[in-house]
Structure 1
Amino acid sequence: MNIVVDSHTHTIASGHAYSTIIENAFESKNKGLRLLCTTDHAPEMPGAPHYWHFNNQRILPRFLHQVGILRGVEANTLNIDGELDLPPSSYQHLDWVIASLHEPVYKPASVQQHTQTLINVIKSGKVDALGHLGNPNYPFELVPVLECAKQHNVAIEVNNTSLTGKSRKGSDVRCSEIVKLGAEIGVYFTTGSDAHFCHEIARLNLASALLEKYSVDESKVITTSTSRFLNFLLLRGKPRIEEFSSLY
């Protein structure tokens, strides 16, 4: 499966990542990506930038090293109500919002609580994708969450780092279950390297292989073309990005 968008990447601004956005864009160009989502951790993650970092992304050029730049965030889910750690003023400046559960911010709880949390995140309307759902510390009921994601056009991320065994250990089994059932339900999938160093940009081989294993239709993998990704954002109610007119 040919992936041309990396929808989950970090820069040095996240506090525990080691490359700049310029370095990430250069690596993206060298690896054949067409679009790069820059998604630093939102403020409640230890070491993360102030919310001005996200509100000010409007100053970023739309292209760096001939790669289209999507202004994004990996927001932290705060509570069972599905609230995120960004003020309302931030969303108008962002093209792409991932919501994730992170142990330093959201203490793992019960299957029931995790399930209701994810459903409330989806229904909030603020989130375009759910990040690294395979984390075994946050088990949830797959069917209601995936069906809710389908209903509200929220993408399910297949996170390559989760499949390496180096982070969120044990995620591979859960990710496999999510992709298998998600394919049956008909959710949209997105793929992210979760790069914290530029050399990890576009490292999506494991995510791609998992999607292929379950014969997921490319039309449901929004990162397989610039048109699919950008039109998914329109489906989500985002404004058209005129600088990317040739990519729709």
Structure 2
Amino acid sequence: MKFKLDVHTHTIASGHAYSSLMENAKAASEKGIKVLGTTEHGITMPGSPHIWYFSNYRVLPRELFGVTMLYGVEANIMDYDGNLDMEDSMLDKLDIVIGSIHTEVYNVGNVEENTRAFVNAIKRGKIDIIGHLGNPAVPVDYEEIVICAKENDVLIEINNSSFTTSRPGSFTNCKKIALLCKLHNARIVINSDAHFCTKIGEFSEAIEMLQSIDFPKNLIINDNPNELLEKLKKKGKLKDL
């Protein structure tokens, strides 16, 4: 599998990543990535950008090095009610929104509470992708979340970084999630979650896992970057594309 879409990446603006926007875009171009999403951490994450950073995305070009650029956020799910750490008015202006739980800013509860946090966040209608769901530090009912995501046209992320440098112990959980997505015909997106430019478009561990369970290619949105762009346009985004 060779995919041309990577929409969960970070730059130095996130505080704990190491490459610039230009470096990431150039790396994406060199690796054949056609659509690159820059999704800096939401404003409650230590070291994250000021809210003005996100409101000023409009000065950035839609294309760099031949790569279509999407400018968004990895918003933090803050509580069991599914509240995010950025106002709806700001989220509505962004190209793409990933909703994730980070233990740095979220009080981890039991399975029911954590599941409720994800489900409520999905039902708010502002999230396009649920990020790194397989984190073993945040136990949840995967099936309930997968079904909710499908019903609300939200993609489930298979995060390659979870297999390599982040969130140790995620492999088994991610495999369970993928099997549930296969069972329920729920769409997924494979992302690098790159925090350094050389990791852009690196999906090998995630792809190997998906191949091991014969995951249907038609459920992987990376196979057709234009499909994601059209999905976002239907939500009223990307009006300049």
TM-score bucket (shorter structure): over 0.9
Q: Partner of 1:138 in structure 2?
A: 138
> SS of the residue aligned with 1:8?
strand
Q: Partner of 2:174 in structure 1?
A: 175
User: Conserved in 2, the CA contact under 8 Å of 1:71 and 1:93?
Assistant: no
Q: Partner of 2:236 in structure 1?
A: 238
Work out whether 1:10 is the aligned partner of 2:3.
Answer: no
Q: Partner of 2:128 in structure 1?
A: 128
Cα offset, 1:204, TM superposition: 0.9
User: Conserved in 1, the CA contact under 8 Å of 2:233 and 2:239?
Assistant: no
Aligned counterparts, 1:98-109, within 5 A: 98-109=98-109
> SS of the residue aligned with 2:37?
strand
Cα offset, 1:241, TM superposition: 4.0
> SS of the residue aligned with 1:3?
coil
Write the letter of the residue equivalent to 1:238.
G
CA offset digits 1:105-156 (Å, max 9, x no partner): 0021100101111110110001001000110011111221111111001000
Q: TM-score, normalised by structure 2?
A: 0.96
**Aligned positions, number:** 241
Q: Partner of 1:162 in structure 2?
A: 162
CA offset digits 1:35-92 (Å, max 9, x no partner): 0000010110000001111111111100001100001110000001101011222123
Work out whether 1:65 is the aligned partner of 2:65.
Answer: yes
Residues in 2 aligned to 1:227 and 1:210: alpha-carbon distance in whole angstroms: 25
Write the letter of the residue equivalent to 2:62.
R
Q: Partner of 1:190 in structure 2?
A: 189
Percent identity over paired residues = 41
Write the letter of the residue equivalent to 1:173.
T
Write the letter of the residue equivalent to 2:75.
A
> SS of the residue aligned with 2:91?
helix
CA offset digits 1:156-186 (Å, max 9, x no partner): 000001012x311101110010001111111
Residues in 1 aligned to 2:162 and 2:220: alpha-carbon distance in whole angstroms: 18
Cα offset, 1:214, TM superposition: 2.4
Residues in 1 aligned to 2:41 and 2:96: alpha-carbon distance in whole angstroms: 13
Mark the runs of 5 or more structure 2 residues left unpaired by the alignment.
none
Cα offset, 1:242, TM superposition: 4.0
Mark the runs of 5 or more structure 1 residues left unpaired by the alignment.
244-248
Q: Which runs of 4+ in 1 moved over 4 A?
A: none
CA RMSD of aligned residues (A): 1.2
Cα offset, 1:216, TM superposition: 2.5
Residues in 1 aligned to 2:92 and 2:181: alpha-carbon distance in whole angstroms: 29
Residues in 1 aligned to 2:54 and 2:185: alpha-carbon distance in whole angstroms: 32
Q: TM-score, normalised by structure 1?
A: 0.94
Cα offset, 1:238, TM superposition: 2.9
Write the letter of the residue equivalent to 2:217.
E
> SS of the residue aligned with 1:99?
strand
> SS of the residue aligned with 2:81?
coil
CA offset digits 1:190-222 (Å, max 9, x no partner): 111111111111111112222222223222211
